[in-house]
Amino acid sequence: MIKAKAKAAALDDEDEDEDDVEEEAEEETSGIDPEEVRLRLEEIEHLFIKAKQALLDYGRGSTEADTAYALLAERFMMLKLNNRLSDQVMAIMHDVYDDVRKQERQIMRLVIRRGRMPREEFRKTFPSNETNVDWLIERIKGKPAFAGTLEKSLMMLFYCNVAFVTTSNSST
């Protein structure tokens, strides 16, 4: 009796697996509706613009920005990406992340080594000023001990900071 129930359950599982495979095959053969895809992508684009604006208006970590990005993430998760496309998107994101990290390291090297800013102070002032091209000028106006050396390397730092802003804006 127990063997018969186990065998029946195994057959039911196989039937369910076959149904799943048939449904997936139907989705692949029927394709996707281009109009529906266009509408979803337009909605995602609209939500992305709103999220960027909330970030600019209220700042990172604000309730408004977090809510806007959560809504964007929710809509983005509705897309079904195949493995190849998902891998391509992830590769692009990794490349952008690597570019941003390279720019941050370059700015840190210039500020700490050439500008003689103490590492602790850099770590306190640079976060939340990554895209603020005036943060160096504001630091120099504060007349810290390293203001003279920082001012000498200001043009190179300004160039790196502008490149960082450009990289950050192109990724968003």
Q: Does pLDDT of 123 surpass 70?
A: yes
Q: Where are the domains of the chain?
A: 82-172
Q: Which residue has the tokens 């960082």?
A: 164
Q: What is the pLDDT of residue 137?
A: 80
First to last CA, the chain: 62
Asked if 171 and 164 count as a contact pair (C-beta separation under 8 A), the reply is no
Estimate the crossing angle of helix 34-58 against helix 63-76, to 10 degrees. Answer: 160
Q: Which of 6-10, 28-32, 129-133, 165-169 has the highest mean pLDDT?
A: 129-133
**pLDDT exceeding 90 applies to what percent of the chain?**
14
Stated pTM of the model: 0.51
**Measuring CA to CA, which residue among 138, 136, 132, 139 is closest to residue 169?**
132
Q: What would the two tokens of residue 171 be?
A: 């990724």
- Please state the rounded mean pLDDT for residues 137-165: 74
Give the pLDDT score at 47.
92
